């Protein structure tokens, strides 16, 4: 009943919206929290508003991703039209798809083709294009160039075991030299979404699949995945601090940026911070693709990033779509890449001279961004959070030594089957 009412209101609003287009409408977009991210969003939205004669209000949202999702759910489940355009995580299209308009109805396939196909497919649920990619993210390996040189390594590691060996040697050496707080490697090991990202990289790099494959079959219980998780568990307490199983991104960066780690797995954001004015490691590090799982493994980086979606309850969907097309457009993404190092979602921008001049690493790591591995959110849809939570809990149990990887993954498989039920 309620739904019908909303639909009726929405379609009525579309009609009115197009009739009054000339006078301009007021849209609300939710993006960023505060600081630079919010500023860039506000500037972009204002530019669109001036061009089109409409108005945009920017709504800032919580920094924490889970808080943000909770807020969106309440808004959307209540059919609220308070927010027209939502900035959503790359794993949310499957979760929230019911609440967003199908962009295929508004934009041309030609435009869609200008984005990374992998990200577009992550945003496509049951054939509906739920959101347009705004900026992307992928896991990277940070390494200390000065320390690698000091201990006689000419190049960053290409496999995880090579990385572990180098880390152990550097750690022993630095500790002997007097830094008792030095560690070989830091990553995100807390039981949260970040661990799903890290562990997916370990598993995929060992050719252990993506937890749930594209067809929706549960694939996580395989020998390669077991090997990958076991290997990671062996790092904890040896080359990674025992507290790493409570680390999120910032804790890892804290150890790394104080000069207390040789390697770090993190997102590109740590690049500009590490090269900040007073940073102790400024100019002493570089980034590369994450190692392979053994010589026959493959490189893997988990796909992150944010998209823009239009609420189905928006009273002005046409204008809202026009706004997100503008914000995800070539020029706007270029501006954001130069000013804020946000990674573009259009391949063409990685060949743009201005973008590359501002962010040299973008050109070098183009392949990483193109081939980033999506988490299984598109296939598991609304159950993605359950799947991810089961996965990170299983991995965390192995990392803290509560069970071994084989047992844990076997139990995980059973649990995922229960979650899946008759279908995702």
Q: Show contacts with other proteins in window 357-376 (CB under 8 A).
A: none
Q: How far apart are CA 90 and CA 77, in angstroms?
A: 20
Q: Min. distance of Cβ 297 from other proteins in angstroms?
A: 27
Binding residues among 119-158 for other proteins as defined by CB under 8 A: none
- Choose which of 8, 20, 51, 67 interacts with other proteins (CB under 8 A): 67
Question: Hey, is 37 helix, strand or coil?
Answer: helix
Q: Measured from the CB of residue 58, what is the shortest distance to other proteins in angstroms?
A: 9
- Is residue 16 at the binding interface for other proteins, with CB under 8 A as the rule? no
Binding mask 288-327 for other proteins (x = CB under 8 A): ------------------x-----x---------------
Rounded to the nearest 10°, the torsion over CA 381, 383, 384, 385 is 140
Rounded distance between C-alpha atoms, residue 60 and residue 30, angstroms: 6
Burial (0-12, 13-18, 19+ Cβ within 10 Å), 119: buried
Under rule CB under 8 A, which residues in 170-189 are in contact with other proteins? 181, 183, 189
Residue 296: CB minimum distance to other proteins, A: 33
Nearer of residues 20 and 36 to other proteins, judged by Cβ: 36
- Looking at the Cβ atoms of 38 and 112, the one nearer to other proteins is 38
Please give the structure tokens belonging to residue 244.
């790493």
Point out which span in 12-20, 216-224, 364-372, 380-388 binds other proteins (CB under 8 A): 380-388
Specify the residue for token string 């197009």: 18
404 binds other proteins (CB under 8 A): no
Are 72 and 79 in contact, with CB atoms under 8 Å apart? no
Question: Min. distance of Cβ 415 from other proteins in angstroms?
Answer: 10
**Where does this chain touch other proteins (CB under 8 A) — which range of 94-102, 170-178, 203-211, 318-326?**
94-102
10-35: b or e for each residue (b if 16 or more CB lie within 10 Å)? beebeeebeeebeeebebbbbbbeee
Minimum distance between the CB of residue 372 and other proteins, rounded to whole angstroms?
Answer: 16
Residues with Cβ within 8 Å of residue 172, at least 6 apart in sequence? none
Q: Which one of residues 145, 159, 231, 389 is an interface residue with other proteins (CB under 8 A)? A: 389
Which residue in 37, 84, 174, 319 binds other proteins (CB under 8 A)? Answer: 37
HSE-CB at 354 with a 13 A cutoff on CA atoms is 10
CB 148 within 8 A of CB 171: no
User: Taking CB under 8 A as the rule, does residue 190 contact other proteins?
Assistant: yes
């Amino acid at each position: 009943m309620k739904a019908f009412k909303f639909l009726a209101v929405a379609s009525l609003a579309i009609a009115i919206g197009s009739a009054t287009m000339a006078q301009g409408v007021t849209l609300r977009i939710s993006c960023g929290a505060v600081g630079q991210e919010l500023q860039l969003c506000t500037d972009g939205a204002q530019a669109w508003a001036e061009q089109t004669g409409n108005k945009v209000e920017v709504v800032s949202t919580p920094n924490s991703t889970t808080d943000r999702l909770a807020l969106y759910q309440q808004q959307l489940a209540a059919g609220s039209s308070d927010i027209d355009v939502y900035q959503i995580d790359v794993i949310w299209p499957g979760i929230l798809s019911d609440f967003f308009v199908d962009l295929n109805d508004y934009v041309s396939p030609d435009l869609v083709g200008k984005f990374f196909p992998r990200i577009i497919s992550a945003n496509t649920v049951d054939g509906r294009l739920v959101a347009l990619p705004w900026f992307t993210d992928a896991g990277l390996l940070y390494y200390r160039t000065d320390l690698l040189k000091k201990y006689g390594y000419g190049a960053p590691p290409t496999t995880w075991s090579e990385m572990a060996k180098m880390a152990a040697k550097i750690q022993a050496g630095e500790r002997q030299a007097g830094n008792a707080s030095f560690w070989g490697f830091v990553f995100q090991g807390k039981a949260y979404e970040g661990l799903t990202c890290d562990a997916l990289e370990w598993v995929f790099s060992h050719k252990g699949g993506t937890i749930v494959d594209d067809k929706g079959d549960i694939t996580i219980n395989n020998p390669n995945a077991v090997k990958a998780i076991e290997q990671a568990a062996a790092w904890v307490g040896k080359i990674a601090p025992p507290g790493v199983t409570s680390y999120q991104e910032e804790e890892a960066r804290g150890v790394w940026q104080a000069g207390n780690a040789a390697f770090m797995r993190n997102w590109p954001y740590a690049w500009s911070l590490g090269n900040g004015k007073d940073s102790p490691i400024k100019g002493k590090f570089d980034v590369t693709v994450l190692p392979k799982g053994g010589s026959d493994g493959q490189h893997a980086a988990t796909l992150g990033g944010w998209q823009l979606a239009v609420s189905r309850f928006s009273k002005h969907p046409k204008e809202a779509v026009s706004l997100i097309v503008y914000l995800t457009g070539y020029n706007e993404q270029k501006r954001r890449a130069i000013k804020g190092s946000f990674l573009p979602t259009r391949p063409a921008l990685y060949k743009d001279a201005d973008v590359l001049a501002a962010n040299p690493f973008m050109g070098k790591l183009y392949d990483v961004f193109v081939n980033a591995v999506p988490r299984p959110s598109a296939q598991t849809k609304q159950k993605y959070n359950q799947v991810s939570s089961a996965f990170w809990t299983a991995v965390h149990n192995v990392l803290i030594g509560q069970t071994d990887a084989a047992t844990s993954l076997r139990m995980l498989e059973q649990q995922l089957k229960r979650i899946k039920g008759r279908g995702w």
